[in-house]
Structure 1
Amino acid sequence: MTSPRARAAAPLAALGWILLAVPLACAVRHAVPPRAAEEVRRGYAHLGAGDAERAEVAFAHALQFDPDLPEAENGLGIVCRTRGDLDRARPRFERAIRLRPDFAEAHANLGELLLALDHAADAEDELRTALRIDPDLADARLNLARALLAHGLAASGEEHGLAASGGGRGRAAAFAGARTEYLHLLETDPDAAAAHHDLAFMDYLEGRFARAERGYRRAATLAPSSHEAQHGLCISLVRLGRCAEGARACRRCLELAPGADRCRTSLAGALACAEP
């Protein structure tokens, strides 16, 4: 799926590179029956606790008190999305937006869903709309940045190990856009491990290994359970000729993810490099 060079430091988990935006305390902004507002609050609390079944009941109950409550529609969309039911989630998010066009979280959630459906252009429109409404919406910012990063990889043929016509120009523009979005995210949350990680990935791809090492090290500090950050740190250190340090990072990667072939392969390379 990716070229060997891209696989070495790939930041995008096979299934989870776009994070679902789940507002845990969604403010009900228009006047609604108190019981409806209470059920919405309960629904998001249930989602936060990982109980989608009770969340679904709470949101449906809220709609019995107020059938046009966008926060409840958005909540039901999230329930469907967490179950992988994109066909049922999409109309929920779309109706939430029709009911409240300035509902940033609903735009962000619809954008995430459209990305999952490979409707990249429409997804970017929704994510940018979400960010115009709420520039501090971190999930939307991360999704947009990672969409641009993926476009850059595809434009340069990195995703398939192929040469792409005009790919260098396409990648440069997409990477520049992604970098800007990651830096905006860090203005909102300086400790966003994903942003540090993905910026390091781009630095690695472009041969800035010292900067990549610093970024991966920061990501590994902020997210100690991330084997991807440890792997990136490993290969960056090897590129810098610090092979013994790299081997330690790869061992840590394997401790965190014993089945990770990339960590095992890179550890062998680091050990060979470290031999006198």
Structure 2
Amino acid sequence: MMKGKPLAKVALLAILVLLLGLKTEPQPVVDLVRQGDVYQSRKEYSAAIEAYRQAVALKPRSAVPFLRIGQVYLTQRRYESAGEAFGQAYELGAKEEALAGLGLVYAGLGDEERAINCWRQALSLDPGEAAVRYRLGRIYLEQGDFQAAQQEFEALIVQDEHNPAAHYQMGLLLAGHDPQQATVHLTKAAGDSQEYDCPVCSGWICNPAAGPPDLQCGGSKSYSFTDAEEMLAALEEVEREENQARAVALLGVAYLERGELSLAKRQLERAIQLNSDYAEAYAYLGHVQGQLGQYEAGWDNLVKAVTLEPDSVLAHYFLGVTYRSLGMWKEARMRFWRAVNLDPNNAALCVDLAQAYLEEPDYVAAEGWFRAAVQREPEDARFQVILAQFYVDRVYKVEEEGVPAALRAVELDAESAMAHDVLGWAYHLTGRWREARTHLQRALALDPDLARAHYHLGALYAARGDGEAARREYQRAIDLDSEGFYRRRAEKALEERY
């Protein structure tokens, strides 16, 4: 693959890749799959599934529609359904593509070893498949198997010396022990990423009609030009730090900020080896271990941080986060309370404390701390939206407090889709349907993919007796909600009403 390949040519090649599996299919099947691809590109996933299933009905022995169905379900994080579709595609002969998809399914379900096994099998069928090799390298890195990860990314660079994603990953891997070489890789990543449509597959694999880039080529854990630039800046900051332990810890925090937990853990452990009384490093390490599911070790390190520095806001906060992740809300609340007392002007800590009270549930205390967050940051729309959501989503004091809070949120940020959605829903709950419709439609104009706004608008239309419009909005909520909360509510509404 040559650097600087014209983007128009790359796009054409991507389309050819998309259509390759269709060249031997009957024209009606081709038409249905293409129709499904169009729906998928518009995130109309239910319609896409229906088109692909019609293609299956016309030619049950074709693997192509099953591969597309698997892609759609992956987009929605419906992993079991995706696995069934890819399994059928595998049985019908699309082994390489199905194995790549099954690897994504297992990775999504947290079964890393089975994901690795699928991707290794896929690479045995086609060693040049860059997307699969990239995914394999990423999962090794996340597991902390840095040598195996480096081998995969080096192989990608051998295939294409200008692969920016591979250079970025190499930069991450080398930053802790060979910053000079890391800088070389990150500089190449920053420069080369501007030459390509997609930093992983360079536009050869992913394209809008083929589904989201992260499902096509592994781009979900890729990077942007800005990421490479920011990592270079982090390395410069580390280089300027004279205290060796602090320099090592700074890089660990930079990894943590980018979600690179295994790399952060390694770096923070090194910082503690250099300074066994480094309370901040213990706090960060304990938090990282908690994020990795290593709760006992993480708890020990957080307690060590508090022992070394009893007034560490960071340590108390991270202990609260650990307790919260374990569902120990009383203990979490106590730690957040301590953190707020140590840092009384921190609005974000007030929100964490309020949310802990919500779990008891103690709405009075929660309300007080949500309001405290707004008082500390009165011009920050984010905290105003959170306050309004508390009233509206809990259907608590909606008329007297929820509507004014949502109005203030929109006043602070008129371009916030969430603010308009919350205000629209508050108006709906208080019987002001015209104002509700106006703000819900405005929310969707600002963010057409906001599933909760589609659900709320569907509920409004249903209440007004407009069944067709309600079904349309509920269906969009079902298509777009990858977390499942509004999807389930919309599905229930459709079952009960229509």
The TM-score normalised by the length of structure 2 is: 0.38
The residue aligned with 2:381 is 190
Picking from 308, 314, 328, the partner of 1:119 is: 328
**Alignment root-mean-square deviation, CA:** 3.7
Does the CA-based 8 Å contact 2:277-2:308 persist in structure 1? yes
Where in structure 2 are the equivalents of 1:111-260 lying within 5 Å?
111-152=320-361, 174-187=362-375, 188=377, 189-192=380-383, 193-202=385-394, 204=395, 208=399, 211=402, 215=406, 218=419, 220=421, 221=443, 224=447, 227-228=451-452, 230-231=454-455, 235=459, 237=460, 241=464, 250-257=474-481, 260=487
Where in structure 2 are the equivalents of 1:48-87 lying within 5 Å?
48-87=257-296
The reply to whether residue 262 of structure 1 matches residue 489 of structure 2 is yes
What code does the residue aligned with 2:480 have? L
Determine helix, strand or coil for the equivalent of 2:276.
coil
Residue 142 of structure 1 and its aligned partner are, at CA, apart by 2.6
Does the CA-based 8 Å contact 1:209-1:239 persist in structure 2? no
In structure 1, stretches of 5+ residues that fail to align are 1-24, 26-31, 153-173
- CA displacement 1:205-261 (0-9 Å, x = unmatched): 5675994698495174599455346545654x4697596886665444234216622
Structure 1 residues 210 and 106 mapped into 2: Cα distance closer, same or farther (>3 Å)? closer
Between the aligned partners of 2:292 and 2:338, the Cα distance in structure 1 is 25
The reply to whether residue 89 of structure 1 matches residue 271 of structure 2 is no
- CA displacement 1:157-195 (0-9 Å, x = unmatched): xxxxxxxxxxxxxxxxx1111112122223434324544
Residue 110 of structure 1 and its aligned partner are, at CA, apart by 0.7
Residue 143 of structure 1 and its aligned partner are, at CA, apart by 2.5
Identity of aligned residues (%): 21
Between the aligned partners of 1:77 and 1:95, the Cα distance in structure 2 is 9
The TM-score normalised by the length of structure 1 is: 0.64
Between the aligned partners of 1:194 and 1:148, the Cα distance in structure 2 is 15
The higher radius of gyration belongs to 2
The residue aligned with 2:314 is 105
Does the CA-based 8 Å contact 1:104-1:133 persist in structure 2? yes
Between the aligned partners of 1:88 and 1:77, the Cα distance in structure 2 is 7
Determine helix, strand or coil for the equivalent of 1:191.
helix
Between the aligned partners of 2:357 and 2:369, the Cα distance in structure 1 is 9
Does the CA-based 8 Å contact 2:311-2:342 persist in structure 1? yes
Residue 45 of structure 1 and its aligned partner are, at CA, apart by 0.6
Does the CA-based 8 Å contact 1:70-1:99 persist in structure 2? yes
Structure 1 residues 75 and 217 mapped into 2: Cα distance closer, same or farther (>3 Å)? closer
Determine helix, strand or coil for the equivalent of 1:101.
coil
Of the structure 1 ranges 214-223 and 54-63, higher mean CA displacement relative to structure 2 is found in 214-223
Does the CA-based 8 Å contact 1:197-1:229 persist in structure 2? no
Work out which structure has the larger RCO, using CA pairs closer than 8 Å and 6 or more positions apart in sequence. 1
The residue aligned with 2:424 is none
